[in-house]
Amino acid sequence: MNDRPAPVGRTLGDQEALLSDLDAFIAGLPKAELHVHHVGSASPRIVAELAARHPDSKVPHDPEALMDYFTFRDFAHFIQVYLSVVDLIRDAEDVRLLTYEVARDMARQNIRYAELTVTPYSSTRRGIPDAAFVEAIEDARKSAEAELGVALRWCFDIPGEAGLESAEETARIACELKPEGLVSFGLGGPEIGVPRPQFKPYFDRAIAEGLHSVPHAGETTGPETIWDALNELRAERIGHGTSSVRDPKLLAHLAEHRIPLEVCPTSNIATRAVRTLDEHPIKEMVEAGVLVTINSDDPPMFGTDLNTEYGVAARLLGLDEAGLAALAKNAVEASFMDGPAKARLAAEIDTYTASWRP
Ligand SMILES: [Zn+2]
């Protein structure tokens, strides 16, 4: 996977040292993450805590057995494990614990700000009252910011596979309860057989309430889905957008209108949206002038984290420290932070980079 060419005059050993220097740089780099799912961020440590609260569940309780449980044999197995984790989120305290502990895992990676994709419908349909759900995530958000220095914001997303009923419920919760941390409205789940335009009325409602539009599109379908997301759902950012490179007009449109892509390289391999990392189209996106951000999607489920994804991006794009800092600043620019917060985090990235000594 490592296709970073060895600089002239360096031995392979030097190159390895260079890569581990880059990894160290990435680890300390202040970062923002824009595409990461709530339940999909439950690490084996968090799942063990949740499983201990619900001893009747089939999920193993001890972290070692869980590591094995999290080793996916195929995509169907991944879905099975994902659903068994969803099954552990049974009351508001589970929601609060999961949210706060996800922020703790982010703090360890120097993630300072994250727009977490939350699917309230998965919890409300399981009987957690909407107000209790919202109170739990908001309580975790405030504690995470005060105690861990991680600012969480929410993207409430429609699980597309659950149909229009879930869209109605998600829009209702977003617009009626409108928690302080809510910044955007999204659409996830499978794309094949789930046309984007049917969700237009729900996006219209959310946008009228001041929320930003950030649907997933063009992950497992072609560029036409991304056009639908732009034209019908008024997308301001695109989740994945992997197939955009198949349409030069679309790439030019994304670049011209500064519509960022939330790129998640390892996830694309895990879901087979892209065959191998070497075939990942991230370089074409960057070369077309598109604002690219790096994200982890469902990190423990795909055996990754945001730092690992920055390392992957460094290899695919041939980036040094300055290039990685620029990538981190793309996420700040593409985020829905206010102006002063963006300026603060960008300045922090600059200070860190200027003072970096391997
Ligand atoms: Zn996603």
* DSSP per position, 179-197: -TTEEEEEEES--TT--GG
What's the rounded mean pLDDT across residues 173-202? 96
Per-residue pLDDT tens over the stretch 330-355: 999 999 999 999 999 999 999 999 99
Under CATH, what is the fold of the domain 21-355? Answer: TIM Barrel (3.20.20)
Q: How far is the CA of 14 from the centre of ligand 1 (A)?
A: 36
What's the rounded mean pLDDT across residues 255-275? 94
Cα separation of 69 and 47, whole Å?
11
Residues 14-46: b if buried by 16+ CB within 10 A, e if exposed:
eeeebeeebeebbeebbbbbbbbbbbbbbbbeb
What's the rounded mean pLDDT across residues 15-31? 84
* Lookup: tokens for 48: 């063990």
**What is residue 68's predicted lDDT score, i.e. its pLDDT?**
81
- Going through 8-103 in order, the beta strands assigned E by DSSP cover 31-37
Residues 306-323: b if buried by 16+ CB within 10 A, e if exposed:
bbbbbbbbbbbbebebee
Cα separation of 69 and 65, whole Å?
6
Cα separation of 158 and 195, whole Å?
13
* Lookup: tokens for 267: 């996830």
| Average pLDDT score over the chain | 92
For the cut 80, the answer to whether the pLDDT of residue 12 exceeds it is: no
The least confident of 36-50, 76-90, 156-170, 292-306 is: 76-90
- Going through the chain in order, the beta strands assigned E by DSSP cover 31-37, 111-118, 151-159, 182-188, 212-213, 216-217, 238-240, 261-263, 292-294
In 3D space, the residue among 190, 181, 127 whose CA is nearest the CA of residue 154 turns out to be 181
* Lookup: tokens for 149: 């220095």
Q: How far is the CA of 335 from the centre of ligand 1 (A)?
A: 16
Cα separation of 152 and 103, whole Å?
8
The least confident of 8-22, 107-121, 294-308 is: 8-22
Q: For residue 252, what pLDDT band results from cuts at 50, 70 and 90?
A: very high
Q: How far is the CA of 81 from the centre of ligand 1 (A)?
A: 16
For the cut 70, the answer to whether the pLDDT of residue 241 exceeds it is: yes
Q: For residue 10, what pLDDT band results from cuts at 50, 70 and 90?
A: very low
Sign of the dihedral through C-alpha 258, 262, 266, 268:
negative
- Catalytic-labelled residue, pool 33, 219, 236, 309: 219
Q: How far is the CA of 175 from the centre of ligand 1 (A)?
A: 22
Radius of gyration of the chain (CA): 20
Q: How far is the CA of 172 from the centre of ligand 1 (A)?
A: 22
In 3D space, the residue among 81, 75, 192, 179 whose CA is nearest the CA of residue 136 turns out to be 179
Q: How far is the CA of 156 from the centre of ligand 1 (A)?
A: 12
Residue 64: which H helix or E strand, with range?
A: helix 63-69
What's the rounded mean pLDDT across residues 130-147? 98
Q: How far is the CA of 20 from the centre of ligand 1 (A)?
A: 29
What's the rounded mean pLDDT across residues 284-304? 95
For the cut 80, the answer to whether the pLDDT of residue 196 exceeds it is: yes
Q: How far is the CA of 170 from the centre of ligand 1 (A)?
A: 17
**What is residue 321's predicted lDDT score, i.e. its pLDDT?**
96
What's the rounded mean pLDDT across residues 193-203? 95
For the cut 50, the answer to whether the pLDDT of residue 9 exceeds it is: no
**What is residue 3's predicted lDDT score, i.e. its pLDDT?**
34
Catalytic annotation present for 219? yes
Tally the C-alpha atoms within 13 A of residue 93's C-alpha that lie toward its C-beta: 5
Cα separation of 357 and 270, whole Å?
35
